[in-house]
Structure 1
Amino acid sequence: MEERDDVQLRECAERLALTLAQSGMQRTTARVMTALLFTQQETMTAADLCGELRISSGAVSGAVNQLIPTGMIERVPAPGSRRDHYRFREHAWATLMGNQNALLDSMWNAAAEGIKAAGHDSVAGRRLDEMQDFYGFMQREMTALIDKWREQYEAGGR
């Protein structure tokens, strides 16, 4: 039964990786991320990921180097081991969405610069005003939503 469960987990991971790749994430990066998400192990080494995904150590290294800065995965110490261990980070989804605030802020600032250059009452200025209003709203709401989710999650109200 356990082997069947592992096969089903790997299939689920591959389906999610395909979805992520279709949404723009590099395929190998998506596969490494989902392998760490779906594994029953606390951590995985690069060698574990190579074996599980049948990819090269260079491919794993590249994917890990892309995923760590996003906050989705983290390198963790493993006493007695010389190898790096990786795990899917706790609250990774909230971290990822929180990181989106930097993008929202950049878009808001780009609109502000455009309004300054074009003039508030120009045709472009009116479009940029809508853009700035939208991204300002999204940034305020995203922060509030993440905070609300964290409170709910920590209270056990899934």
Structure 2
Amino acid sequence: MAEMSPKESEFVDRMGLVIERLGGPRTMGRIYGWLMICDPPHQSLTELATALGVSKASISTVARQLQEAGMIERFPAPNRQHRYRITPGGWARVLRVQLAGVRMGLETIEFGLSALGADRPEQRALLEDSRDFFTFIESDANELTRRWERYRNTAHGHDPDDGSGG
């Protein structure tokens, strides 16, 4: 496996910062970034650790998190060393997971409103504002996902009505 070029290294580091900004560890973004551009497009834990200069234990932990999030997948290789690769559609999966958190937040706020008496209008107003925000986000989530699927299919020349799913 060839070493990263300076531009590839910068891309990997920038992806680390993107994921960090989104709340994940920088190493997660660096792994994801490298798997997006590496050749071959699948890597073992040892190869990832070597390419990124990170311990194999750290790579293993973060790769498991990426796998659980649906961003990468693990598959067996002939030498019994698992390999990892990008899962197409991973960003949409992450969005769906985040939106499930919105549903949980909405349910929690509804519970808070049921626990709060009418004699506390300031507190109710705060909860109602939060409820309205979460309701708005949830109502747009399904349409956003449908729009993304249409966009992706159109951008890549797939007919969304041909049943191929992209």
TM-score (structure 1 length as normaliser): 0.86
> C-alpha offsets along residues 115-151 of structure 1, whole Å, 9 cap, x if unaligned?
0011367321222112111101101212211121112
> C-alpha offsets along residues 89-136 of structure 1, whole Å, 9 cap, x if unaligned?
101111111111111011101110110011367321222112111101
CA apart distance, 1:54: 1.2
**Equivalent residue, structure 2, for 1:7:** 6
> Contact conserved, 1:120 with 1:129, CA < 8 A, in 2?
no
SS at match of 1:64: helix
Match of 1:81 among 79, 82, 99: 79
Q: Distance in 2 between matches of 1:94 and 1:120?
A: 40
Q: Deviation above 6 Å: which 4+ runs of structure 1?
A: none
Q: What percentage of residue pairs aligned between the two structures are identical?
A: 25
Gaps of 5+ in 1: none
> Contact conserved, 1:45 with 1:83, CA < 8 A, in 2?
yes
Select the structure with the greater relative contact order (CA < 8 A; seq sep ≥ 6). 1
TM-score (structure 2 length as normaliser): 0.82
> C-alpha offsets along residues 12-49 of structure 1, whole Å, 9 cap, x if unaligned?
11122124325532222222222212324221111110
Q: Structure 2 matches for 1:111-150, cutoff 5 A?
A: 111-119=109-117, 122-150=121-149
Q: Structure 2 matches for 1:88-103, cutoff 5 A?
A: 88-103=86-101
Q: Distance in 2 between matches of 1:17 and 1:75?
A: 20
Q: How many aligned positions are there?
A: 155
Distance 1:144 1:120, change over 3 A: farther
Gaps of 5+ in 2: 158-166
**Equivalent residue, structure 1, for 2:49:** 50
